[in-house]
């Protein structure tokens, strides 16, 4: 059984080969087994956005913010996901939080 890092690397390889659907499926399996793996949720947010699965992208971006509440980039990524999903007030709130954290 691969480690979480190995499973993530395998999903990245699928993405790099142009197999984005398969990569998303691989990461969904990984986060089901490792729900606190922030990097996998972050990638899922970005990749789901590329596939126009905006609600799933927001869901994963929110999870990253839960796991890394002191990381401004997490909130910036949430803002982008929310913007793409048409959740403008939430996008603005997330961006404001990121900016506040950056000082």
Q: Tell me, what's the pLDDT at 48?
A: 98
Tell which CATH classification among 1.25.40.10, 1.10.260.40, 3.40.605.10, 3.40.50.620 matches the domain 4-102. 1.25.40.10
Q: How far is CA 2 from the centre of its chain?
A: 21
Render pLDDT for 27-54 as a digit per residue (tens, 0 to 9).
999 999 999 999 999 999 999 999 999 9
pTM for this prediction: 0.94
77: which DSSP letter? H
CA distance 86 to 33: 30
């Amino acid at each position: 059984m691969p480690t979480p890092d190995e499973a993530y690397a395998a999903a990245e390889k699928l993405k790099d080969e142009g197999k984005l659907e398969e990569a998303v499926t691989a990461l969904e399996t990984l986060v089901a087994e490792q729900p606190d793996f922030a990097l996998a949720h972050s990638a899922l947010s970005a990749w789901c956005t590329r596939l126009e699965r905006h609600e799933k992208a927001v869901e994963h971006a929110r999870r990253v913010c839960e796991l890394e509440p002191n990381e401004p980039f997490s909130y910036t990524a949430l803002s982008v996901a929310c913007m793409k999903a048409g959740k403008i007030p939430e996008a603005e709130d997330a961006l404001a939080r990121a900016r506040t954290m950056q000082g």
